[in-house]
Structure 1
Amino acid sequence: MQFRTLTAIAAALVSALASTVSGAAAQSYDLVLAGGRVMDPESGLDAVRHVGIRDGTIAAISESPLEGETVVDVSGLVVAPGFIDLHAHGQDLFSSQLQAQDGVTTALELEGGTGDVEEWYASREGQAAIHYGATASHGAARRLALGGQRQAVRLAADLEQVAVMESRLRDELGRGALGLGFGIEYTPGARREEIHRLFQLAAEEGVTSFVHVRYAGLVEPGSSIEAVHEMIANAASTGGGVHIVHIGSSGLGQVPTLLTMIEGAQASGLDVTTEVYPYTAASTDIRAAIFDPGWRERLGGDFSDIEWDATGERLTEETFNERREAGGRIIAHIIPEEMFELALAHPLVMVASDGVPFVNGQGHPRGAGTFARVLGRYVREEGLLTLMDALRKMTLMPAQRLDAYVPQMANKGRIRVGADADITVFDPATVIDNATFQSPTEPSSGIEHVLVAGTFVVRDAELIETALPGQAIRRD
């Protein structure tokens, strides 16, 4: 009898221990996103699942319910990788929080870059709502080599000055810059030899060049086709990779030919990619070399297509010349809608915002609404592309543009066990952009939850202003 009693006690203890271990395992997730439509462009998964998150990482994707310290019912919503913006000039907190409300979890300054990598990253540490990173700036290296802004824009560099640029950019790459950033149309003094030499540097370092090409124009010489030829030739001759930014605003009416050229380059084994934003207007400073004499013929636009950002005023020849003398930001309504739609639907083209910092509430709405606009208008309303294809352009493709030499990116843009818990949860029936040219800082609708490194930045469609989980994305 005593033996049976001891046996029963032992069995009870084992059972209790097993129950405790099982309960601990069940409760071991910090957060569970329960019952959402999980969509992963990498694996093709598109099914109702439960996602368990632990220590900022996706720890489980289950057909069965999971238990956790916090369980959020996301049934009826899409659970997607957080959106990755490769072209975000708005790196201040206000701009980043607007992007978070548009579903963005990583926003990188790759076209413009920075002139001081250490200072740039240090200024954002612990102060970022979403992940951040930058390239080394060719424009800044030009200013250093030629002695100032005016010289950097207009003057050609000799070989000694190019060597100064090479040295500076190599140092910045050694400090973790995410590649080289070029705005060649803004520095018409940069000769092709200079750009080719710097492409060689990028190839030697194993990084990509992110380029605003030399021309946006319809007239030969100086057409968009000529500008993209230069990029493809540099990629072919150096073995380096190039990402051509905003093909809609750079390509204008020549977008179909440019897409064919990029298709052919990729088919030949060259590392050439591109992106587009879903708007019919560009934005820049009116003093930019883009608006040098002859711009109307090159761009196929007129004075009335130019909007003064601060007031919404459409310019005349007289006011254009006055404002160009003083300087300031404009919005240029010059992109044919059919051209950027063609690019958006193309399987090789990524989505990126080219969002600029907002000044006194003014700016281009692309900094607040790019991603929801694609999902709401071009997926749901117009059927221009499927939801999975749109998500691929916003998540996996941008991550893959960098992950060969930035290991952090290999765990972003995916919903899989072991990936970073950078997740966007949205309602496919209501997601839409609200930002307009008149009210450019209106947050998007239908973005219900946004997690950055497992931390809510947006919850129940409300921004959490105190949440600052963004981390630096740097090359090792």
Structure 2
Amino acid sequence: MINMQNIRRRLLAALLTGSALTWLPVSLASEALYDTVILKGRVIDPETEFDQIANLGIKDGQIAVITSETIVGSQTIDASGRVVSPGFIDIHSHTPTRLGEHLNILDGITTQLDLEAGAWPPTEYGDHYIGGAQLNYGSSVGHFAVRHAVMEGRVHSYFFTEDGFINTTGPTWTEGASAEQIEQMRIRLIQGLEEGGLGIGVLLDYMTDAVSESELQMIFETAASVAKPVYIHVRRGMPGDPNGLDEAIALAEATGAPTMICHITHSAMGGINEWLAKIDEANARGAHITTETLSWLAGGTAISADVFRNRDWRAIFNIDYEDVQWVPTGEWLDEERFLRYQRDYPGSSVNHHYVKEAWLLDALKWPDMMVSTDALPAFDLDVKTNPNIAGTFSHFLGRYVRDLGVMPLMEGLRRITLLPAQWLELSSDAFAKKGRLQVGADADIVVFDPDTIAAEAAYGDPYQPSVGISTVLVGGRLVASEGRRIEGRYPGKHILAPLATTTKFPY
């Protein structure tokens, strides 16, 4: 007679001592308690501050148990010597493409959001994922796209195509709106929020001379009316000038709209401490304002952006032509090539190297500073982008958390998991189950080696995947194992948060 108990005991021992990923035989899989178990990892939950060697069991896409007891699953992942963390949430991305998704997964990103630019309608965001996504994704309602529909009579739901950035020299970006046009924008913004947009994204600095005080006030009032956040790229002045921030703070206080200041280090520059102090003072008065920073030091945007066409960008950024890279090739520019590429390839991107690491270190001292990628679009390995797309979170955890000791690992993980999830609960209840490792939470999980995690990507060589991240699960399903992405699994969801009513208005 076959002794099944002994077989199971020997099988469990093999699972606990064998390879990193093991599957139960079909004959025993039906008797396994969990779909997947992650064994002997250092499980870290930033909300409860749980930090112990433990076993984690997943059932039906959610965490079912965290225990020191022996558990068995149909699939076993050995996490010995590694950290088991909530999946990383990228609150500021611009790369909802297949290539962007593939590189994001290998950097531990399980939720990818464009909240600064947004889309309209928000249901159209992520069209590259029409056949399924490996990570979760979503967007705000894009004010720029609403403005485009009103000012130019055409719907352009997102701000780039495979040919590059959309034209930023037309009426959408350069002309003021009438009172009637502002009202038409308001109707469309409400419609986008009703359809599930996660707030309103405002590319204000890209249309700084076009957007009036009354239009901007309408945006904040619209968001406040449904208690959704505003995500704003504030107007940029000379280095450190806080006037753009002051404008956003005043509207956040006057309307009560929750407000995120996008990529504050790249906007504040040497004035970062003053800017953060102003946010603290406003919050002490009752405002609800937060912010985020990049872990990379260059800025990345369209070569035809307003700041490069209509303003003294060399004075604003305190750099010159030789500090700018043309993203498609990675080449460093001079004045002749900059102007030629701007004329011939207005939809292309540049990396402009102006942020000092000291400013970033000051930004990271702020207790609630989130970290994001601000990744530029990526479509093809032969057309370069910035390294943010492949190495933001590994760079943050490797350089700033481990090597420079800017903060403990628990706190570093809080900045890229729990903090964004808690902020995003303003937009959708779905985020109450993300950014955490707790029973009942979504099984969006990253397993990594804290001693080796690092970015391999670099400016001019942006597509090198991170090292030290071995396993990524989204919704309880493996999308990366042994540091390699798994093709053919698409557990990601389009996160939308529709309001209760619907405004009937034609696109």
| TM score, norm. by length of structure 2 | 0.86
Counterpart of 2:293 (choices 276, 282, 300) is 276
Q: Is the 8 A contact 1:126 1:470 kept in 2?
A: no
Q: Is the 8 A contact 1:125 1:471 kept in 2?
A: no
Aligned match of 1:405 = 427
1:462–1:276 distance in 2 versus 1, CA, 3 Å: same
Ranges in structure 2 where 5+ consecutive residues have no aligned partner: 1-27, 154-167, 499-507
Structure 1 residue 129: deviation in Å?
A: 1.0
Aligned amino acid, residue 238 of structure 1: T
Aligned match of 2:189 = 169
Q: Is the 8 A contact 2:99 2:380 kept in 1?
A: no
Q: Is the 8 A contact 2:98 2:129 kept in 1?
A: no
Q: Is the 8 A contact 1:457 1:463 kept in 2?
A: yes
Q: Secondary structure at the match of 1:274?
A: strand
Q: Secondary structure at the match of 1:314?
A: coil
Q: Which protein is richer in helix relative to its size?
A: 1
Aligned match of 2:304 = 287
What do residues 333-365 of structure 1 show as CA deviations (whole Å, max 9, x unaligned)? 011111112112321210110011125430010
What do residues 222-250 of structure 1 show as CA deviations (whole Å, max 9, x unaligned)? x6411111111111000111111111211
| Cα separation, 1, equivalents of 2:278 and 2:203 | 21
Q: Is 2:381 the partner of 1:363?
A: no
Structure 1 residue 203: deviation in Å?
A: 0.3
Aligned match of 1:29 = 34
| Cα separation, 1, equivalents of 2:449 and 2:365 | 22
Aligned match of 1:414 = 436
Q: Is 2:282 the partner of 1:265?
A: yes
Alignment of 1:58-457 (within 5 A): 58-120=63-125, 124-147=129-152, 150-188=170-208, 189-215=210-236, 217-218=238-239, 224-291=241-308, 292-326=310-344, 327=346, 328-361=348-381, 362-457=384-479
| Cα separation, 2, equivalents of 1:216 and 1:47 | 48
| Cα separation, 1, equivalents of 2:484 and 2:338 | 41
Structure 1 residue 175: deviation in Å?
A: 0.6
Q: Is the 8 A contact 2:97 2:126 kept in 1?
A: no
1:24–1:444 distance in 2 versus 1, CA, 3 Å: closer
Ranges in structure 1 where 5+ consecutive residues have no aligned partner: 1-22
Q: Secondary structure at the match of 2:441?
A: coil
Q: Which moved more, 1:408-417 or 1:457-466?
A: 457-466
Structure 1 residue 26: deviation in Å?
A: 7.7
1:433–1:318 distance in 2 versus 1, CA, 3 Å: same
Kindly report the root-mean-square deviation, in angstroms, between the aligned alpha carbons of the 2 structures: 1.7
Q: Is the 8 A contact 1:33 1:72 kept in 2?
A: yes
| Cα separation, 1, equivalents of 2:422 and 2:406 | 23
Q: Which moved more, 1:316-325 or 1:296-305?
A: 316-325
Q: Is the 8 A contact 1:26 1:67 kept in 2?
A: no
Aligned amino acid, residue 334 of structure 1: Y
Structure 1 residue 267: deviation in Å?
A: 2.3
1:184–1:417 distance in 2 versus 1, CA, 3 Å: same
| Cα separation, 2, equivalents of 1:123 and 1:365 | 21
Structure 1 residue 25: deviation in Å?
A: 11
| TM score, norm. by length of structure 1 | 0.91
Q: Is the 8 A contact 1:215 1:227 kept in 2?
A: yes
Q: Is the 8 A contact 1:343 1:349 kept in 2?
A: yes
Structure 1 residue 110: deviation in Å?
A: 0.7
Structure 1 residue 24: deviation in Å?
A: 10
| Cα separation, 2, equivalents of 1:257 and 1:41 | 28
Q: Which moved more, 1:360-369 or 1:100-109?
A: 360-369
Aligned amino acid, residue 253 of structure 2: A
Aligned amino acid, residue 110 of structure 1: L
| Cα separation, 2, equivalents of 1:388 and 1:456 | 24
| Cα separation, 2, equivalents of 1:56 and 1:251 | 41
Structure 1 residue 116: deviation in Å?
A: 2.1
Q: Which moved more, 1:160-169 or 1:359-368?
A: 359-368
| Cα separation, 1, equivalents of 2:312 and 2:483 | 47
Aligned amino acid, residue 183 of structure 1: L
Structure possessing the higher radius of gyration over alpha carbons? 1
Aligned match of 1:458 = 480
| Cα separation, 2, equivalents of 1:178 and 1:78 | 30
